Amino acid sequence: MSDNEHYLSKNEQSMKKTQATILVIDDQEDILFASRMVLKKHFETIYTLNNPKNILDTLSQNQIDVVLLDMNYRIGFEDGREGIYLLKEIKTFSPQTTVILMTAFGKVETAVEGLKAGAFDYILKPWDNEKLLEVVKAAVEENRKEKKKTAKAPKQDAFFIGNSSGIQKAYSLAEKVAKTDANVLILGENGTGKYVLANHIHQNSNRNTHPFVHVDLGSLNDNIFESELFGYAKGAFTDAKNDTPGRFELAQKGTIFLDEIGNVPLQLQAKLLQVIQNKSVTRLGEAKPRQLDVRIITATNMDLKQEVSQKNFREDLYYRINTMEITLPPLREQKDDIVPLANFLLARIIEKYDRSEIIFDNNALAQMERHSWNGNIREMENRIERAVILCENNTITVSDLDLDVISKTESNDDVQLSDVEKSAIEKVLQKNNFNISKSAEELGLSRASLYRRMEKYKIDNPNGSE
């Protein structure tokens, strides 16, 4: 048994235990011990991890149903940012894994931010054992529901390209470059499917049996940039308790997808360039470089040529990452694909919610074709999901999609949509005395989605965080 991981053998388990695998991640051994003692009586398999850098390794080697994730690991860093980053990494690497956040009393606001980022729930430390079990059992049940929905989804409908010239050109280039090891730069507005295209390239490459590691560079602050990407040696800095590989090493023989590369500060671009150029990485605290065999795909919604001309992005890095440049067109330039895409997304969402047959009425489809879709595919998916929840008689109308007001003021889409949505949310919140659960249900949103919109529109909750 290693210092980093503990496994409870089946001899310690009873037949009445719930069939579930739980992973607890915390750098305090007393927390790991206490949680193990409580959970092992009720669940089949318990893993514990005291080094958060080994999360992806553990997830790749085991079928983890639920993760209990602490939000702070380094002395002096108590803002929970590391926990939020790790949460996003888990949800990207293993979307079906359900995550519960653990945080100290007084740090609830950060935990609420975690709900917005995809966490199922949070629990305060020190916890009440009954409360801990209640939350974990609910997470296990949620995990089972999500897996059933995924199992029901038809395999052939898991991917949509479209027939418009712009998207066909993008995927034609992707098919050609997939079998090579050329670096690829994907450009496009938010919501156009850059992650989907990057993953498509990986799945159609000769590296598809090895890891696809997604790194959101925009979420990495300067303090953890090098340690996260390049790794570190034991003792390299305070609280560096173990030798730890970075994201580049975790992607060995596979593909690393560096999303939002345009957000990397200029002073860190040189270090990233060195790794890409030399095909090697040197962990913090070490002198000897480690050779890399990694395919590099990057993406951004920024105009990198303009950033280069304004001296905000290194020209040598720009040319290093874009051996092949692929641009994804915005949805407004794919008019012929809007109705087929809407029907594709509707079928997938129906499966998700286990609903009976639902259709769009003709007015809704016509209005969708006229809508500007400034949020692209992501906006369409969100609107359709909300409409599936709200619609009556199994028919989605223009009103269900909240597109009626927009059609009257085509020249001011963003402002009108924001004003209408903010006003609707404020009315429902006030009606329910800012009860988040009731308001979310009435609006047809999840709690996390409602929190995100409240943050977006700067709507304060006078009752504080729930």
Task: Supply 162's token pair.
Answer: 């479209």
Q: Looking at this protein, which amino acid is placed at residue 216?
A: D
pLDDT attached to residue 17? 85
**CB–CB of 328/173 below 8 Å?**
no
Maximum average pLDDT range among 96-105, 170-179, 349-358: 170-179
The model's pLDDT over 81-113, given as tens digits with 9 standing for 90+, comes to 778 888 888 887 888 899 999 887 556 677 777
Maximum average pLDDT range among 238-252, 313-327, 380-394: 313-327
The model's pLDDT over 267-301, given as tens digits with 9 standing for 90+, comes to 899 999 999 999 999 998 998 999 999 999 999 99
Residue whose pair of structure tokens reads 């998916």 in the numeric block: 381
Does the pLDDT of residue 225 top 80, yes or no?
yes
3 state DSSP class of 61: helix
**CB–CB of 258/297 below 8 Å?**
yes
pLDDT band at 428 (very low <50, low <70, confident <90, very high): confident
Q: Nearest 10 degrees: CA dihedral of 363, 366, 367, 372? A: 170
Q: Which domains are present in the chain?
A: 18-151 (3.40.50.2300), 165-329 (3.40.50.300), 332-401 (1.10.8.60), 415-457 (1.10.10.60)
Lowest mean pLDDT among 50-64, 393-407, 412-426: 412-426
Q: Dihedral of CA 20/61/175/382: which sign? A: positive
**CB–CB of 317/352 below 8 Å?**
no
The model's pLDDT over 178-199, given as tens digits with 9 standing for 90+, comes to 999 999 999 999 999 999 999 9
Does the pLDDT of residue 15 top 60, yes or no?
no
Residue whose pair of structure tokens reads 């080094």 in the numeric block: 51
Does the pLDDT of residue 313 top 60, yes or no?
yes
pLDDT band at 252 (very low <50, low <70, confident <90, very high): very high
Does the pLDDT of residue 464 top 90, yes or no?
no
Residue 172: name the closest of 324, 341, 380, 378 by CA: 324
pLDDT attached to residue 3? 42
Q: What is the mean pLDDT of residues 391-413?
A: 68
CA distances, 424 to each of 214, 398, 405 (Å): 35, 16, 13
Q: What is the mean pLDDT of residues 55-65?
A: 85
**Mean pLDDT across the chain, nearest whole number?**
84
Question: What whole-number percentage of the chain has pLDDT above 70?
Answer: 87
pLDDT attached to residue 351? 83
Lowest mean pLDDT among 83-92, 117-126, 321-330, 447-456: 447-456
| Size (the chain), residues | 466
pLDDT attached to residue 414? 47
Does the pLDDT of residue 163 top 60, yes or no?
yes
* Ordered strands of the 255-259 beta sheet: 212-216, 255-259, 295-300, 184-187, 324-327
pLDDT attached to residue 244? 84
